[in-house]
Structure 1
Amino acid sequence: MQKILIIGYVWAEPGSSAAGSRMLELLTLFRAQGWQVLFASAAALSEHRADLSALQIEEKSIALNCDSFDQFIADYQPDMVLFDRFFTEEQFGWRVEKAWPSALRVLDTSDLHSLRHARHAMLKQAQQACANETERQQLGAVATDFEVAYPLMADDDMAQREIAAIYRCDLTLMISPAEMSLLQQQFGIPAVLLHHCNLMLLRTQTEQTEQTEQTEQTHAPNFAQRQHFLSIGNFRHAPNWDAVLWLKHAIWPRIRQQLPQVQLQVVGAYPPPKATALHNPQQGFQMLGWVPDAHAVMSQARVCLAPLRYGAGIKGKLADAMACGTPSVTTKIGSEGMCGDLPWGGAVAQDVDGIVAAAVNLYLDQAVWQTAQQQGNEILRLCFDRQQSAAELVQRLLVAKQQQAENRQRNFTGAMLRHHLHKSSHYMSQWIAAKNAASAPI
């Protein structure tokens, strides 16, 4: 394999979200193999996007519903095309098949969108039975049992679209082993179409050198050198915003009663006005928004709070917390798929009482805190082995490319879905393109 095309829903922003970090991991790995990589997106250029030129990766802006993409990919002739969301595959997958069918088509889900959507529906349904906002914010996290979520997913348009995209691709990268199990056991997806590729926590060589120098000079702050709580997450990701509201209205007031001098610092990219309006220093609730170095801020906090009531995938914020030696308090949704049978690097609780008790205990008890920190280190060592994950992914991609024709022939469901999507998307896109051309100024 020599040439790779990545089609991103957005430009890679490793400082803004776990999905952005995940994309940079993949880009760094592909370049380390000596592969030529081109990153393309139809999104507007973003201020926080990574400088891919440092990795010698070319960037290209592409347009939706435009035949110019067909010529572009036919000229580039990639060995592999990776779509970073299922709806990116919907938009461009049929064009890739039409213009350059020999390319290995790979889908990277980051998290299973339809699972997150179903769990959100579960929370909203429970909230509808509440009399007021106070009651709604007292509700705990939704259940993680897939047997509860599956009926909602099976009847939902998003799940049908996402599962169809998985079948249409030659290989789908799954970040969570829990979601691998859901796809195979509940949805019957063949194992040959899936590959578990965890967060590899890759850094560029420059970042690794800077991190090593910083560690040697300052060492990681210990229990006594740290203070305050931290909550972090991109505000454009709905589960993160829900977690902030849960903190603001139900969890933080209870913690603050027991620790009146302690602050909660809420960090995240793209905070909307409704988020910044929650800033209240008198209550110890500080909305900091985007910060240039989240690891530096995390390393100064004593405890990370991630009270996620719904969601899916692997939580990059919690992996970052462990990497910074910061114990965390989260829910079963937050820890899902991250530690196997190992004890969590902090505490897992499902309701306000449990989260408050665990947070205060971690903050005050040095022995408990140090044990949690050690448990986090063990999770990173055993569940996030960077070299092993990278090697397994490269090998799986090479094998998938080698067996591409055989696997496609066996995947009749995928061929059938590609046929119907190709027809419907083809004519719809042609209609939009013609409409755009007709309305363009002469």
Structure 2
Amino acid sequence: MMQLLEGFLAFDYDITFASTATKTEFSATLSDLGIKEVGILLNDASFDGFVSQLKPEVVIFDRFMVEEQFGWRVAQICPDSLLILNTEDLHSLRESRQLCFKKGEEWSILKWLQQDKTKRELASIFRSDLTLVVSTYERELLKEVTGVRAELLLHLPFLLDKVSESLINQFPKFKERKDFISFGNGKHAPNIDSFHYLIEEIWPTIKKKLPQSNLHIYGAYLPKMVQQLHNPAQGLLIHGWTHNLNQVIQKSRIVLAPLRFGAGIKGKLIDAMQNGTPSITTNIGVEGMGDFKLWPGKIANNPQNFAKEAVDLCNNENDWLQAQKNGIELINEHYNKEFLMERLMTRIEGIKESLVDHRSYNVIGTMLQHQTMAAAKYMGKWIEEKNRKN
């Protein structure tokens, strides 16, 4: 979201950021960027007056739950506004995989399609004029399986600066680095599972082969069950949140990310590439991010292979240097923010020029916008009236 905001600022957009969320100590101060911040309420008619006065040309909903709450209000009050859904990742996909994992079942596309949340997320996609997806896998899944027209989708991964030669030269060298690192937000279920899997099933084998090595784990909001695994005698160092993640990644020789479920593309693996640090991850980790054969590190899907790949890469400087090079090339070729934002702006302008026709061809979307199918609208109005009486 921060990358999108900065991208729109670069194209001289006047931005208002409206949110129902309560600010925390980790919240960005958007006003420093010249962005107006507005607090809004759920199921409250005050939003109608706010958006009527604002009259936005483009509205971006951050994830489908926000579109469910506010999309019908924007469509009703500002029918000419271009409606964009920013998926971040397909939440229904991540949730269905997590559910199958917990049940010990093999995940399938059919099981994903049967989820209630999948239907809600797809409805939000169809109601929108354009949906941004970060993963090539998810783009193809929506096109080939659910029938979402290509004109309604745009592959827009992370928007990143190129890794320059001068920055590469500043990276610590192979022999200047040591230890392994894993990191991620403690409120994200795939991260917590990954930490437990790594510590309990993978790390003992690595530690046996490399007794002088340590595993450093970083992340905000780490639950007690992860913090309690801190054990310096076994080389397990649980640090929690860090003020300078880039620095600790650059000090490390390898990033370990044994993800067993999830969706979208993985920010932790992007962070590894940007800091010149190879990674070991799984098929879920690399999904939708690039060519498996040129992955900047290794891919393994069981504890024994994962540990073996980690040890081998840690000991082989030539392979490590090639992995670092692959990561930098992947960032520079596929995540170039200037190219990606130009593509987004071109798509936005094209849709704006023929918005009526664009919507007419989106037959399912027009059906869902129709009042007889607008369940979210009438549920919101019912809650609003209930709150008023209370």
TM-score range, shorter chain: over 0.9
Confirm or deny: 8 A CA contact 2:17 2:35 kept in the other structure.
yes
Measured after TM superposition, the shift of residue 420 of structure 1 is: 4.9
Q: Secondary structure at the match of 1:88?
A: helix
Which residue of structure 2 lines up, in the alignment, with residue 41 of structure 1?
19
- 2:214 is equivalent to residue 263 of structure 1: yes
Paired with 1:420 and 1:353, the residues of 2 have a C-alpha distance of 55
Which residue of structure 2 lines up, in the alignment, with residue 159 of structure 1?
118
Paired with 2:234 and 2:52, the residues of 1 have a C-alpha distance of 58
- 2:220 is equivalent to residue 220 of structure 1: no
Q: Secondary structure at the match of 1:189?
A: coil
Measured after TM superposition, the shift of residue 59 of structure 1 is: 0.6
Which residue of structure 2 lines up, in the alignment, with residue 175 of structure 1?
134
Confirm or deny: 8 A CA contact 2:180 2:252 kept in the other structure.
yes
**1:124-160 deviation digits (Å, cap 9, x = unpaired):** 2227xxxxxxxxxxxxxx7xxxxx5210011110110
Which residue of structure 1 lines up, in the alignment, with residue 263 of structure 2?
312
1:199 alignment partner, one of 158, 162, 165: 158
- 2:73 is equivalent to residue 95 of structure 1: yes
Confirm or deny: 8 A CA contact 1:25 1:202 kept in the other structure.
no
Counting only pairs closer than 5 Å after superposition, residues 250-329 of structure 1 correspond to structure 2 as 250-329=201-280
Confirm or deny: 8 A CA contact 1:115 1:149 kept in the other structure.
no
Q: Which AA in structure 2 matches 1:323?
A: Q
Confirm or deny: 8 A CA contact 2:60 2:84 kept in the other structure.
yes
TM-score w.r.t. the length of structure 2 is: 0.95
Q: Which AA in structure 2 matches 1:65?
A: N
Q: How many aligned positions are there?
A: 390
Paired with 1:377 and 1:299, the residues of 2 have a C-alpha distance of 14
- 2:340 is equivalent to residue 362 of structure 1: no
Q: Secondary structure at the match of 1:224?
A: helix
Paired with 1:341 and 1:405, the residues of 2 have a C-alpha distance of 41
Paired with 1:88 and 1:68, the residues of 2 have a C-alpha distance of 16
Between 44-53 and 175-184, the greater mean CA deviation after superposition? 44-53
Confirm or deny: 8 A CA contact 1:120 1:311 kept in the other structure.
yes
Q: Which AA in structure 1 matches 2:110?
A: P
Confirm or deny: 8 A CA contact 2:160 2:331 kept in the other structure.
no
Which residue of structure 2 lines up, in the alignment, with residue 86 of structure 1?
64
Measured after TM superposition, the shift of residue 396 of structure 1 is: 1.0
Percent identity of paired positions between Structure 1 and Structure 2: 40
Which residue of structure 2 lines up, in the alignment, with residue 18 of structure 1?
none
Paired with 1:212 and 1:371, the residues of 2 have a C-alpha distance of 15
Q: Secondary structure at the match of 1:105?
A: strand
- 2:88 is equivalent to residue 110 of structure 1: yes
- 2:349 is equivalent to residue 398 of structure 1: yes
Paired with 1:102 and 1:62, the residues of 2 have a C-alpha distance of 22
Confirm or deny: 8 A CA contact 2:359 2:366 kept in the other structure.
yes
Measured after TM superposition, the shift of residue 260 of structure 1 is: 1.6
**Superposition RMSD on alpha carbons, in Å?**
2.0
Measured after TM superposition, the shift of residue 202 of structure 1 is: 4.9
**1:167-192 deviation digits (Å, cap 9, x = unpaired):** 00000001011111111111111111
TM superposition outliers: structure 1 runs of 4+ over 6 Å: none
Q: 1:412 to 1:292 in 2, by over 3 A?
A: same
Counting only pairs closer than 5 Å after superposition, residues 340-355 of structure 1 correspond to structure 2 as 340=291, 342-355=293-306
Paired with 1:125 and 1:173, the residues of 2 have a C-alpha distance of 31
Measured after TM superposition, the shift of residue 434 of structure 1 is: 2.4
Confirm or deny: 8 A CA contact 2:368 2:374 kept in the other structure.
no
Measured after TM superposition, the shift of residue 419 of structure 1 is: 2.1
Paired with 2:292 and 2:194, the residues of 1 have a C-alpha distance of 25
**1:383-440 deviation digits (Å, cap 9, x = unpaired):** 222221121111111112222111111112111112258742233222222222232x
Paired with 2:77 and 2:183, the residues of 1 have a C-alpha distance of 42
Confirm or deny: 8 A CA contact 1:223 1:366 kept in the other structure.
yes
Q: Secondary structure at the match of 1:158?
A: helix
Confirm or deny: 8 A CA contact 2:161 2:336 kept in the other structure.
no
Confirm or deny: 8 A CA contact 2:367 2:373 kept in the other structure.
no
Paired with 1:89 and 1:79, the residues of 2 have a C-alpha distance of 16
Q: Secondary structure at the match of 1:434?
A: helix
Q: Which AA in structure 2 matches 1:41?
A: S
- 2:41 is equivalent to residue 63 of structure 1: yes
Q: Secondary structure at the match of 1:40?
A: strand
Paired with 1:292 and 1:341, the residues of 2 have a C-alpha distance of 32
